[in-house]
Amino acid sequence: MALLQNLLTTVSKMSSWTLLLSIIGLFPVCLALYRLFLHPLSHIPGPWFACISSAFLHIICYQGTESRVFAHYHRKYKSPVLRIAPNSVSVSDGAALHTIYVAGGGLPKDSRYRNFRIEGHETIFSSINPAFRDLRAKAVLPLFAPSRIRTSGENNGAIQQSVEKFVALLEKEKQEACQGRGNHHRVDILDLTSKLSIDILTGYLFDKVYGGLNEHDNNNKMNIGSSVPKHKRLSATPFVLAIVAFSRFSLLPNWIFTIVFSIWFRVAMRETDLVVSLGKVESFMNELMAETETQLGRPGVSMEETRSQCKGVMFAGADSTALVQSTILFHLIQQPAVLTRLKAEVEGTTPSTELQSLPYLRAVFREGLRLALTNPTRMTRIVTTPDAKGINVSGFHLPPGTIVGAAPYIFHLNEEVFPDPLKFQPERWLEEKRDGPGESQLRALRDRDTFPFGLGGRICLGRNLATYQVLSTTKAIVQSGVLEGARTCQERIEMIGWFNAEIKEHHLEIEWNS
C-alpha cells in the first residue's frame, strides 16, 4: 500500500510533458512483454527478439538468409512450429502441409503477395482473390496440356527447335575449346539455359520467339565481372534480376513497399544495363501485342493487364526453369558416374520416346528440383476459418490472422528424410531391388516433403511445360556427349535465398581444356 501511495505521489509531482514522455517510453516495453507472454502465439517457441518485433524477419529476408536461419532455429528449439515474428510462424512438419495448402482448397494467400504485382496489375501469381485468379488460370490451363506440350517437343515444334539450337551452341563451345582457342574456354551455363528457357516459353506460349539463343554470338563478347571473355548475356537478365531482387522487400506492408520500391527502382534505373533490358523486353511485348491475340486477350482481361501477365510469364520462363536446368548440368559434370548411368539409359532413344518411361532421367530431374530450390522461402498463407477458431498444426493452435508458411529449403534439405542432403543423388528416387525394409516409408516421406512447384490449388500452372523442357533438354545434352571432358569452375553452387532464389553473381561456369 505504501509503495502504491509513493508511486501516486511521484506521478502527481510530474509535469504533463514528463508524464507523457514516460508513458511513451514505457509503451515499447509493455508491447514487448505482451508479445512475449500474453500474445495468442506466446505458447510457440522462437527466439525472443523475433517474438517482440518483425525487424528480425525483415532483415533476414533482405539478406536472403531467411530459410537458413529458420532451419537453424527449428533445430535449436526442436519444434515443428517456430515463431519467427510477432504474428508469423514457420512450419517444418510435412504432416502439416496438407492442412495449410491443400485441405478445403488451402489457406488463402496473405496480403504480402500484392507486392508481386507487375506494373500495378495483379497477376495469376500475385492475386489473393480466388475468383480473379480462377478466371485467368482457366484461360491459360489448356496451353499446358501434356499432349500439346509433347507435340511442340516433336515434329520440329518450338520446343524441339530451341533444344536442338541449345545443344548445337554447347557443341560449338566445346569444339572451340578443343581447337585450343584459349586454355580455359568457359561457358556460363546459367546464362545459356536462361536463353533456352525464355525462347521455349515465348515460342511455345506466344508463337513468337524472344531470340535469347540468337544473342549467344561469338562476335559480340564482353567482360562481365570477370577477366574471362564471355558471350553477351541474355538481354532480359537485368529485367529478371530486378524482379528477383525486389522480392527482398516483399514482407513489407504494401504501402511501405510501394514507397521503398519506388525509391529503389529510381536508383536501379541509373544502371544502363537495366534501362537497355527493359527497353528490349518492352519492344518484344509491343511486337507481341501487335501480332498475336494471346490466350488472356479475352473479355474480362484488358490488354494492359495481358501485357503485364505476359511479362510475369517471361520472368518465370527465364528464371526458375533455367536454374533447375543449370543445376542438373552442373551436377552431371561433377559426378561422372551419374552421367554414365544416365547416358546408358537414354542411348538409342528418339525424340518421340516417352520421357516419363525413363526412370533414371526422371530421378535426375527430381533431384535437380530438390536442390535447385527455385523458391526456397516460406509460401505464406493467412489463417482464416469459417468458425473463426483457427487451426491446429503439429500440436500447436494458430488463431485467425496468423501468417503461416513452410519453406522448401527446410524440407528439401532435411537430413532425416534426405541423408547427406547436399549431395546430388538421383538414386533416392528409384525403387531399387536392394532397398531395405524402411526405404519405402522413407520414399513416401520424400514424395510428401518435396514441393518445388507449390501445393494445392495454387500450384504452378507451368509445371508440365517446365518438366518436359528439362527432361527433353537433359536427354538431348547427354545423348550428344557434349558434357564429356567438361568440368565446373566452382566446387558448389552458392545461393541467395530470396523469395526467388538467385545464384551468387548470377553465373555458373563450366570449361573444357584445349
The cell for 258 is: 510501394
Q: Is the pTM of this model over 0.85?
A: yes
DSSP 59-104: HHHHHT-HHHHHHHHHHHHT-SEEEEETTEEEE--GGGHIIIIIGG
Q: What is the pLDDT of residue 434?
A: 59
Enumerate the β-bridge partners of residue 486: 512
Q: Give the residue among 284, 280, 278 at the shortest CA–CA distance from 265.
A: 278
Q: What are phi and psi of 257, to 5 degrees?
A: -60, -40
Structure confidence at residue 410 as a pLDDT band (50, 70, 90): very high
The CA-to-CA distance between both ends of the chain, in Å, stands at 90
| 85-109: pLDDT as tens digits | 999 999 999 999 999 999 999 999 9
- Distances, alpha carbon 374 to alpha carbons 368, 424, 440, 498, in Å: 10, 16, 27, 9
Share of the chain above pLDDT 90, in %: 64
Query: Strand locations in 339-461, DSSP E?
Result: 381-382, 391-393, 396-398, 403-406
Residue 374 near residue 501, CB atoms below 8 Å:
yes
Q: CB neighbours (10 Å) of residue 240?
A: 24
pLDDT at 431 over 90: no
Q: CB neighbours (10 Å) of residue 487?
A: 11
pLDDT at 296 over 80: no
CB within 8 A of 29, min separation 6: which ones? none
Q: What is the pLDDT of residue 226?
A: 41
Rg (alpha carbons) of the chain, rounded to whole number: 26
The residue-averaged pLDDT of 52-69 equals 96
Residues annotated within the binding site for heme are 460
The cell for 157 is: 515444334
| 170-225: pLDDT as tens digits | 999 999 888 875 555 789 999 999 999 999 999 999 899 999 999 986 544 433 33
User: CA 510 to CA 173: how far, in whole Å?
Assistant: 11
pLDDT at 286 over 70: yes
> If you average pLDDT over each of 281-290, 291-300, 394-403, 433-442, which comes out highest?
394-403
| 449-500: pLDDT as tens digits | 999 999 998 899 899 999 999 999 999 999 999 999 999 999 999 999 999 9
Q: What is the pLDDT of residue 366?
A: 98
Q: What is the pLDDT of residue 224?
A: 37
Residues annotated within the binding site are 460
Q: What are phi and psi of 395, to 5 degrees?
A: 85, 5
Please give, one letter per residue, the 3-state secondary structure of 429-497. HCCCCCCCCCHHHHHHHHHHHCCCCCCHHHCCCCHHHHHHHHHHHHHHHHHHCCCCCEEECCCCCCEEC
User: CA 133 to CA 450: how far, in whole Å?
Assistant: 25
| 17-45: pLDDT as tens digits | 665 666 676 788 889 999 999 999 999 99
| 38-48: pLDDT as tens digits | 999 999 999 99
Sign, Cα dihedral of 498, 499, 505, 511: positive
